[in-house]
């Protein structure tokens, strides 16, 4: 299945117009023509069939002929709060792979030891959209704007909250604190780890200190291991 994404369409939409880039891809690369049917998702758990009524590499138009609800295939909610990596491609790798596995929410957090404090949120969104289409998912993960660590931890969290850090402390393995079908937020620090002060602040808020194993992992690897652990416990 070749899946397209358009966040604007709904069950009331009757027609969709593709931009120049996607129109060129549809007509010239995929060799689609009038009356061919395209599969489109709005990233909100719906799949639409749309029949091409006008095929041009500059502007392709399709008529919605059917729609059906396609809810996400997992019943948990995993939210990863991650310090952006110094190298952008590592963060993009995490976004892509986490979307393929199954993630609900991502928040970039700016920590004391963060080496990257400015991110390209629109670029991140495109990576997530592409991974959602490639992995044939119909619900797009929520990407929150970047936020400072001290502001992030002040919010009222719904569900379990864990912090993965590298200090020698009384930590539990992540897979021992997970339960199926639960809502969980996991904080992953920067390359230099969370500061001692940041860890203390989290512990005073009753966040669970966790370990992801004996190996010291890169930020993006740690975040993906966390996502995979949650996915595995819910199999």
- pLDDT at position 171, please? 93
CATH of the domain at 18: 2.40.240.20
Number of domains observed in the structure of the chain:
2
Beta-sheet strand order (sheet of 60-69): 3-5, 37-41, 46-54, 60-69, 15-18
- Tens digit of each residue's pLDDT (9 = 90 or more) over 135-153: 999 999 999 999 999 999 9
CATH of the domain at 121: 3.40.1280.10
74's tokens: 């997992």
Same-domain check for residues 83 and 183: yes
Same-domain check for residues 82 and 54: no
Same-domain check for residues 104 and 219: yes
Q: Which domain holds residue 7?
A: 3-69
- pLDDT at position 169, please? 78
- pLDDT at position 112, please? 95
Which domain-ending residue is among 23, 46, 69?
69
* Average pLDDT for the chain: 95
Say if CB 64 and CB 83 are below 8 A apart: no
- pLDDT at position 68, please? 95
Which domain-ending residue is among 22, 37, 69?
69
- Tens digit of each residue's pLDDT (9 = 90 or more) over 77-108: 999 999 999 999 999 999 999 999 999 999 99
- Tens digit of each residue's pLDDT (9 = 90 or more) over 168-216: 878 999 999 999 999 999 999 999 999 999 999 999 999 999 999 999 9
Same-domain check for residues 84 and 41: no
Same-domain check for residues 132 and 227: yes
Write the DSSP symbol of residue 44: B
- Rounded Cα distance, 42 and 26, in Å: 18
Same-domain check for residues 110 and 197: yes
Same-domain check for residues 83 and 181: yes
Same-domain check for residues 172 and 88: yes
Which domain-ending residue is among 51, 69, 87?
69
Same-domain check for residues 217 and 113: yes
- Tens digit of each residue's pLDDT (9 = 90 or more) over 46-70: 999 999 999 999 999 999 999 999 9
């Amino acid at each position: 299945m070749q899946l397209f994404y358009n966040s604007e369409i709904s069950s009331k939409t009757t027609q969709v117009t593709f931009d120049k880039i996607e129109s060129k891809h549809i007509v010239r690369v995929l060799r689609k023509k009038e009356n061919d049917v395209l599969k489109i998702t709005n990233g909100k758990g719906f799949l639409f069939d749309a029949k091409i009524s006008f095929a041009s590499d500059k502007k392709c138009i399709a008529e919605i002929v059917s729609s059906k609800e396609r809810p996400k295939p997992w019943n948990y909610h995993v939210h990863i709060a991650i310090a952006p990596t110094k190298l952008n491609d590592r963060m993009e790798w995490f976004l892509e792979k986490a979307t393929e596995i199954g993630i609900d929410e991502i928040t970039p957090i700016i920590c004391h030891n963060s080496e990257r404090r400015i991110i390209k949120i629109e670029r991140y969104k495109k990576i997530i959209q592409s991974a959602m289409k490639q992995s044939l998912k119909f619900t797009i993960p929520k990407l929150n704007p970047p936020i400072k660590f001290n502001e992030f931890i002040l919010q009222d969290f719904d569900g379990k909250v864990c912090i993965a850090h590298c200090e020698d402390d009384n930590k539990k393995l992540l897979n021992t604190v997970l339960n199926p079908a639960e809502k969980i937020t996991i904080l992953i620090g920067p390359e230099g780890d969370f500061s001692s002060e940041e860890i203390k602040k989290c512990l005073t808020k009753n966040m669970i200190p966790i370990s992801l194993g004996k190996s010291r992992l890169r930020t993006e690897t740690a975040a993906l291991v966390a996502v995979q652990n949650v996915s595995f416990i819910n199999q």
